[in-house]
Structure 1
Amino acid sequence: MKRSKVLFLGVCIALVLSLLAACSKDNTKNNASGTSSEPSESQQATGSASQSSKEVKITFFNTSAEINTVFEKLFKVYKQEHPNVTVELIPTPIGGAQIEKFQSLLASGNPATVVNLDAGTIFQYKDKFLDLESEKAKYAKLALPGAIDGALLDGKFIGVPYSAQGYGLLYNKRVVEEAIGGAFNPSTIKTRSDLESLFKKIEAAGKAPVIIHGADWSLAAHYLGLAYSLQSNDVEKNRQFVEGLKNGTVDLSTNQAYNGLMDTFDLLKKYNARKNDPLVADYNKDSLDFAKGEAAFYFMGDWSWSVIGPLKSRDKDFGILPVPISDNPADFGNSQVAYTEPKLFAIDNAGSTPEQQEAAKTFIEWMITSEASQKAIIGESGLAMPYKNLKVESSNPMSSAISNYVADGKTINIGVINYLPSDYWAKTGASMQKYLVNKIDRAGLTKEVQDYWKSTAGK
Structure 2
Amino acid sequence: MKSWKLLIVALVVAVVTACGNGNNKESGQPASNGNNTENAGKAVEIVMLNSKGQIHEALENAAQAFMNENSNIKVNILTVPSGQSPFERASVLYSSGTPATLNMLDAGDIAKFKDKALDLSGEKWVKDLAAPNELDGATLAFPFAVEGYGLVYNKAVVEKAIGGAFDPASVKTLADLESLFQTIEKSGISPILVGGMPWSLGNHFLPLSYAAQEGGDVAAFLASLKAGEANLAENASFNGLMDTFDLMKAYNSGKKDPLAVTAENIAAAVANGTSAFTFNGNWMISQLLEVNPDGDYAFLPVPIDNAINTKAAGAIAVGATKQIFIDKSESTPEQQAAAKQFLEWFVYNETGQDFLVNKMGIIPATSNNPLEPSDSLGKSIKSYMDSGLTVSFGANYVPGDHSKVIGASMQKYLADSTDRAGLAKEIEAFWKGKE
Separation in 1, partners of 2:214, 2:134: 19
- Give the CA deviation at 1:300: 0.5
Separation in 2, partners of 1:246, 1:180: 45
Residue identity matched to 1:426: K
> For 1:212, what is the secondary structure of its paired residue?
coil
> For 2:193, what is the secondary structure of its paired residue?
strand
Instruction: Work out whether residues 101 and 331 of structure 2, in 8 Å CA contact, stay in contact via their aligned partners in 1.
Output: yes
Change (3 A) 1:368 1:308: farther
> For 2:115, what is the secondary structure of its paired residue?
helix
- In the alignment, structure 1 residue 239 sits paired with structure 2 residue 216: no
- Which of the numbers 173, 180, 187 marks the counterpart of 1:205? 187
What is the match of residue 18 of structure 2?
none
- In the alignment, structure 1 residue 326 sits paired with structure 2 residue 305: yes
What is the match of residue 398 of structure 1?
377
- In the alignment, structure 1 residue 282 sits paired with structure 2 residue 267: no
Separation in 2, partners of 1:90, 1:429: 25
Separation in 1, partners of 2:347, 2:287: 22
What is the match of residue 70 of structure 1?
58
What is the match of residue 223 of structure 1?
205
Separation in 1, partners of 2:368, 2:328: 31
What is the match of residue 323 of structure 2?
344
> Which segment is superposed worse, 331-340 or 283-292?
283-292
TM-score by length of 1: 0.84
Instruction: Work out whether residues 148 and 316 of structure 2, in 8 Å CA contact, stay in contact via their aligned partners in 1.
Output: yes
Instruction: Work out whether residues 271 and 291 of structure 2, in 8 Å CA contact, stay in contact via their aligned partners in 1.
Output: no
What is the match of residue 436 of structure 1?
414
- In the alignment, structure 1 residue 445 sits paired with structure 2 residue 423: yes
Separation in 2, partners of 1:417, 1:155: 21
- Give the CA deviation at 1:315: 4.4
- Give the CA deviation at 1:352: 0.5
After the TM superposition, which residues 376-415 of structure 1 pair with which residues of structure 2 at under 5 Å, given as runs?
A: 376-414=355-393
What percentage of residue pairs aligned between the two structures are identical? 39
What is the match of residue 134 of structure 1?
122
- In the alignment, structure 1 residue 305 sits paired with structure 2 residue 293: no
What is the match of residue 10 of structure 1?
none
Separation in 1, partners of 2:106, 2:214: 22
**Offset from partner CA, 1:251-278 (integer Å, 9 cap, x none):** 0000000000000000011111221221
What is the match of residue 186 of structure 1?
168
Change (3 A) 1:343 1:113: same
- In the alignment, structure 1 residue 123 sits paired with structure 2 residue 111: yes
- Give the CA deviation at 1:314: 4.3
Instruction: Work out whether residues 143 and 320 of structure 2, in 8 Å CA contact, stay in contact via their aligned partners in 1.
Output: yes
Separation in 2, partners of 1:368, 1:356: 19
Higher helix fraction: Structure 1 or Structure 2?
Answer: 1
Separation in 1, partners of 2:82, 2:362: 16
Change (3 A) 1:61 1:281: farther
Instruction: Work out whether residues 291 and 315 of structure 1, in 8 Å CA contact, stay in contact via their aligned partners in 2.
Output: no
What is the match of residue 100 of structure 1?
88
Separation in 2, partners of 1:444, 1:227: 16
Residue identity matched to 1:359: A
User: Structure 1 regions of 5+ residues with no counterpart?
Assistant: 1-31, 35-39
Instruction: Work out whether residues 209 and 271 of structure 1, in 8 Å CA contact, stay in contact via their aligned partners in 2.
Output: yes
Structure whose alpha-carbon radius of gyration is higher: 1
- Which of the numbers 134, 151, 167 marks the counterpart of 1:169? 151
Separation in 1, partners of 2:37, 2:166: 52
- Give the CA deviation at 1:51: 4.9
- Give the CA deviation at 1:233: 5.6
- In the alignment, structure 1 residue 254 sits paired with structure 2 residue 234: yes
Instruction: Work out whether residues 195 and 263 of structure 2, in 8 Å CA contact, stay in contact via their aligned partners in 1.
Output: yes
Separation in 1, partners of 2:126, 2:86: 29
- Give the CA deviation at 1:77: 1.1
- Which of the numbers 420, 429, 442 marks the counterpart of 2:398? 420
What is the match of residue 81 of structure 1?
69
Separation in 2, partners of 1:389, 1:375: 13
- Give the CA deviation at 1:447: 1.1
Instruction: Work out whether residues 59 and 113 of structure 1, in 8 Å CA contact, stay in contact via their aligned partners in 2.
Output: yes
- In the alignment, structure 1 residue 357 sits paired with structure 2 residue 339: no
> For 2:62, what is the secondary structure of its paired residue?
helix
> For 2:259, what is the secondary structure of its paired residue?
coil
Instruction: Work out whether residues 63 and 94 of structure 1, in 8 Å CA contact, stay in contact via their aligned partners in 2.
Output: no
Change (3 A) 1:387 1:233: farther
**Offset from partner CA, 1:411-434 (integer Å, 9 cap, x none):** 1012x5444321112111111000
Change (3 A) 1:288 1:131: same
User: Structure 2 regions of 5+ residues with no counterpart?
Assistant: 1-29
Instruction: Work out whether residues 55 and 84 of structure 1, in 8 Å CA contact, stay in contact via their aligned partners in 2.
Output: yes
Instruction: Work out whether residues 166 and 339 of structure 1, in 8 Å CA contact, stay in contact via their aligned partners in 2.
Output: yes
> For 2:338, what is the secondary structure of its paired residue?
helix
**Offset from partner CA, 1:123-157 (integer Å, 9 cap, x none):** 1111111111211xx2243333x2xx1x2123320
Separation in 1, partners of 2:77, 2:365: 23
**Offset from partner CA, 1:379-401 (integer Å, 9 cap, x none):** 12222112234253322111111
Residue identity matched to 1:342: T
- Which of the numbers 151, 158, 171 marks the counterpart of 2:140? 158
What is the match of residue 8 of structure 1?
none
Separation in 2, partners of 1:57, 1:291: 40
- Give the CA deviation at 1:373: 2.4
TM-score by length of 2: 0.88
> For 1:342, what is the secondary structure of its paired residue?
strand
Separation in 1, partners of 2:121, 2:336: 14
